[in-house]
Amino acid sequence: MTSLPPTGDLLLVLPFTPALLADPSPLLPLIYSAAKSVSGSATVLFSTPPPASSDHPDGQLYATLRSAPKAHWSALSHFLAQVYSALAAGQQAADNFLTEVEVRFDGELGEWQHKLPAVPQRVIVLDSYADLASRILETAGVTAPHHTVPSPALPQPGSLQPATSAPGYPVTALGGTFDHLHAAHKILLHIGLFVTEKRLFNGIISPELLASKSNAHLVQSLDQRIANVAAFLNRTGPGDTLVEVEEIKDALGPTRWDPTIKALVVSRETLNGGADINKVRKADNLEELTVLSIDVISSDIDGVADDTTFRTVNLASATDAQLKTEKFGSSGIRSWMSGHGINGPGGLASSPNVPRAGATIDPATGKPHQAGLTRAELEAKRAAEAAGSGGGLQSSPNVPRPGATLDPATGKPHQAGLTRAELEAKRAAEGANK
């Protein structure tokens, strides 16, 4: 298997064609080696090379997929599962689950100078595609030295099956602990954003519900988890889609009562949770959600890995009991941390890129605010105002009433959709008129 020299932060640039979307296995050994070689981060950037790029209006396969998300989300989900499995296997081989691994696509929305999780110290390209994504690298200000590696035998580009108009869902929801944001989380979040047209709600489970988790003392703070999710989605490129990342105090969150939510993204292990949500909605005369299920991944290599053969354990037919022991997830990362003596402030909590507990997030960047009020300070200020004669934040026209959501592009309350308070008032009025 091709080995790469050790480095801190690495960017691996690879081709992305319809044939590789269907079967990325020729690229997986190199992806595995990339994750194994880093002590900081390994980012894989997929770009459609010519002549295949001429088949797509924007020159990029990913942009074509994004134009019909309902038709293509499943294929993209399977592709990401295989790529992120290889990255997770590389982390396991390096015995370091706290490195950052990420997948980016040429054709995503957003400014490339803000889309990489770290400034790469080394760029790896295939010798057959030495100039691939050079425009992006220049735009992103990447000046690291380029190193070429032998290109594996790749299939002909192939073609994408024509898709009828299949826009995404107007409002989508997903939820979870999102502790120590990892490869499996990033598949879920990426697909959630991919299928959403207007608003994506990301529910982050409250700390009060996590006391029974294994190695619960290593679970990151709520604010760290919110910051990590918001930053990843910001890098992925939300465009005009509103991204909400908020604490939820029960497993259902707003999917219990919000009629504007149309779809729910889950992993296979939480598929039953989607069914439970729809039972509750049906009982309340709300439209049931379309449930999209993504693959559960493993970081364990299945068989022998070399330059031509690489695969991780396939959990597609695993039982629930097998999933609990074999899936790649936060519990395994905390167990690894405990076994390596990483406690309290160690690991990600010591990184300057993770905010201190209580920090608030700038929705324009997905990063912690450098100035202003922390969450604790804001709550204290609101309590003082409530006890006084008003004024302050409550009197500002740009601060919504309790329960309203904010549009990060304007800082003003959204005009579309119902808040929880509005929905309850509407139901009360309808009940009084019966």
Based on the domain organization, do 195 and 81 belong to the same domain?
no
Same structural domain, 264 and 325: yes
Would you say residue 369 has pLDDT above 50?
Answer: no
Say whether both 182 and 256 belong to one domain: yes
- pLDDT-derived band at 345, boundaries 50, 70, 90: very low
Position 74 in a domain = yes
SS3 46: strand
Q: Average pLDDT, stretch 130-144? A: 91
In-domain check, residue 163: no
* Same domain as 218, residue 259: yes
pLDDT of residue 420: 57
Q: Give a yes or no: residue 367 inside a domain.
A: no
Rounded to the nearest 10 degrees, how much is the dihedral formed by the CA atoms of 88, 66, 255, 184?
0
Assess if residue 360 is contained within a domain: no
Integer Cα distance of 179 and 368 in angstroms: 17
- Residue 357 forms part of a structural domain: no
User: Do both 105 and 209 map to the same domain?
Assistant: no
Angle between helical axes of 183-194 and 222-236 (0-180°, round to 10): 50
Average pLDDT for 7-14: 97
Same domain for 92 and 43?
A: yes
Let me know if 354 is exposed, middle or buried by CB neighbors in 10 A (0-12, 13-18, 19+).
Answer: buried
Question: In terms of domains, do 68 and 194 share one?
Answer: no
E-strand ranges in 185-295 read 196-205, 242-248, 263-267, 290-294
For 188, counting Cβ atoms within 10 Å of its Cβ (0-12 exposed, 13-18 middle, 19+ buried), the class is buried
Instruction: Report the domain count for the chain.
Output: 3
Instruction: Name the average pLDDT for the chain.
Output: 81
- Apex 25 CA angle, 22 and 26, nearest 5: 110
Q: Is residue 417 one of the residues assigned to a domain?
A: yes
**pLDDT one-digit tens code per residue, 76-133:** 999 999 999 999 999 999 999 999 999 999 999 999 999 999 999 999 999 999 999 8
User: Which contiguous run of DSSP H or E holds residue 310?
Assistant: none
pLDDT score of 148 more than 60: yes
- 260-269, 333-342, 377-386 — which is least confidently predicted? 377-386
Q: Do 30 and 115 fall within a single domain?
A: yes
Domain residue limits at 325: 169-350
Tell me, yes or no, whether 133 and 245 share the same domain. no
Q: How far apart are CA 91 and CA 88, in angstroms?
A: 5
Same domain for 422 and 274, yes or no, is no
CATH number at 267 reads: 3.40.50.620
Domain-embedded: residue 363: no
Residue 14 near residue 128, CB atoms below 8 Å: no
The model's pLDDT over 322-338, given as tens digits with 9 standing for 90+, comes to 555 556 678 889 999 99
- Looking at the structure, tell me whether residues 345 and 387 fall in a common domain: no
State the pLDDT at residue 376.
Answer: 53
pLDDT at position 236 is 97
Going by pLDDT thresholds of 50, 70 and 90, the confidence category of residue 350 is very low
Residue type, 85: S
Residue 162 falls inside a structural domain? no
Which has more confidence, 371 or 54? 54
371 has pLDDT over 60: no
Predicted local distance difference test score (pLDDT) of residue 395: 35
- The pLDDT of residue 238: 95
Q: How far is CA 132 from the centre of its chain?
A: 25
The pLDDT tens digits for 155-213 are 999 998 877 778 999 999 999 999 999 999 999 999 999 999 999 999 999 999 998 88
* pLDDT > 90? residue 425: no
244 and 210 share one domain: yes
Determine the pLDDT at residue 382. 53
CATH of the domain at 90: 3.40.50
Q: Which of 296-305, 379-388, 405-414 has the highest mean pLDDT?
A: 296-305
Amino acid at 5: P
